[in-house]
Structure 1
Amino acid sequence: MTEIHPNQRVAVLADSQNLYHTAQSLYTRNIDYASLLESAVDGRKLTRALAYVVKADAPEEESFFDALVDIGFETQIKEIKTFQDGSKKADWDVGMSLDAVSLAPHVDTVALCTGDGDFARLCRYLEHEGVRVEVYSFRESTADELVEAAHDFTNLSDDTDQFLL
């Protein structure tokens, strides 16, 4: 596993839907993505920052997507799918995992900004590849297996003044 050092190359992958819904349900506030990115990079060399978002034709979403780009994120946009029964789905688990695996040879650390336990297996794979995994999420909604699989966990609830708007 890679230890932390100033020349360390970091990729930040943010599951925007997961973070948004948790911040709203716990605090009725939004994520401060600039602060999240700064904390995840932590003085190291940012290789890529990817924010995974869902296009749902909401009035403010385009300005949100533009703000993410202004902060330094590349946006990966997926259209929401509506099924015949009226249910809706748009998750980025496979896309985030593929990007993390693709980035692994080019980085020392992957910062996963999500609480989704489905990423625990990805953490174990990245560790096997010599990549450090740091998770940034709200502990109240983060799967135990994800916390255990990561090298480091930052609980966004520990400093809501820093991580929430």
Structure 2
Amino acid sequence: MIKIDQCVAILIDGNNIERSLQSLMNKNVLANFDTLVPRLLSDRALNRLVYFREGKEISAKLAERLHENFHGSVIPCHKSADIPLTIFATQIAQKVDTIIILSGDSDYVELVRYLKSRGVRVEIAAVKKNAAAVLIDEADHFTSITEEDAFEYSPSLVVK
């Protein structure tokens, strides 16, 4: 048996993933990280999980759940998550073997190229129909996020 010993960081462009899932299903869906993260890790070690999201109104329940289940953190972004996520990825590149970016945004193509040039394996996880083909092609691996990776919520139950 071969044991894969990789240290992985998962960086999430929250707005991108939320919009992609909503276009796939309906506006009241969110990613189910409880099932998605283990599937992405595939028995590899999680170094850190960071959820970047535009706007000040981020669910405290989401932040608490990511922290409790994955020691993850939520970072609110002034405008888009692209720049903060990119800076963070370059800062941790020497500390991990693999970075999984949850986004299909072509703005990350140059980041993927840079990380790969530094010897970091880069994986993309996104809703395929909303993911840029050039981003998928540049990545070392692509995982399609599907309806099974989401859950529907009742807006009246959302706690901020």
Q: In which range does the TM-score fall when normalised by the shorter chain? A: 0.7 to 0.9
TM-superposed deviation, 1:93:
0.6
Alignment correspondent of 1:153? 142
**CA offset digits 1:7-58 (Å, max 9, x no partner):** 1110100111101111112111221012222122211111111111233447
Q: TM-score, with normalisation over the residues of structure 2?
A: 0.84
TM-superposed deviation, 1:5:
5.4
Counterpart of 2:37, as a letter, is L
1: CA distance, partners of 2:137 / 2:75? 27
Alignment correspondent of 1:164? 150
**CA offset digits 1:103-122 (Å, max 9, x no partner):** 11111100000011010111
Counterpart of 1:66, as a letter, is E
SS across alignment from 2:4: coil
Q: In the TM superposition, what are the counterparts of 1:5-16 in structure 2 within 5 Å?
A: 6-16=4-14
Matched, 1:126 2:124: no
SS across alignment from 1:30: strand
Q: In the TM superposition, what are the counterparts of 1:89-108 in structure 2 within 5 Å?
A: 90-108=79-97
Please identify, of 66-75 and 23-32, the stretch whose mean Cα deviation from structure 2 is larger.
Answer: 66-75
2: CA distance, partners of 1:5 / 1:142? 31
Q: In the TM superposition, what are the counterparts of 1:5-154 in structure 2 within 5 Å?
A: 6-28=4-26, 29-57=29-57, 61-72=59-70, 73-79=72-78, 90-154=79-143
Gapped runs of 5+ residues in structure 1?
80-89
**CA offset digits 1:51-71 (Å, max 9, x no partner):** 11233447xx22233223233
CA contact (8 A) 1:33 1:71 kept: no
Q: TM-score, with normalisation over the residues of structure 1?
A: 0.82
2: CA distance, partners of 1:5 / 1:149? 26
Q: How many residues align?
A: 147
1: CA distance, partners of 2:47 / 2:61? 24
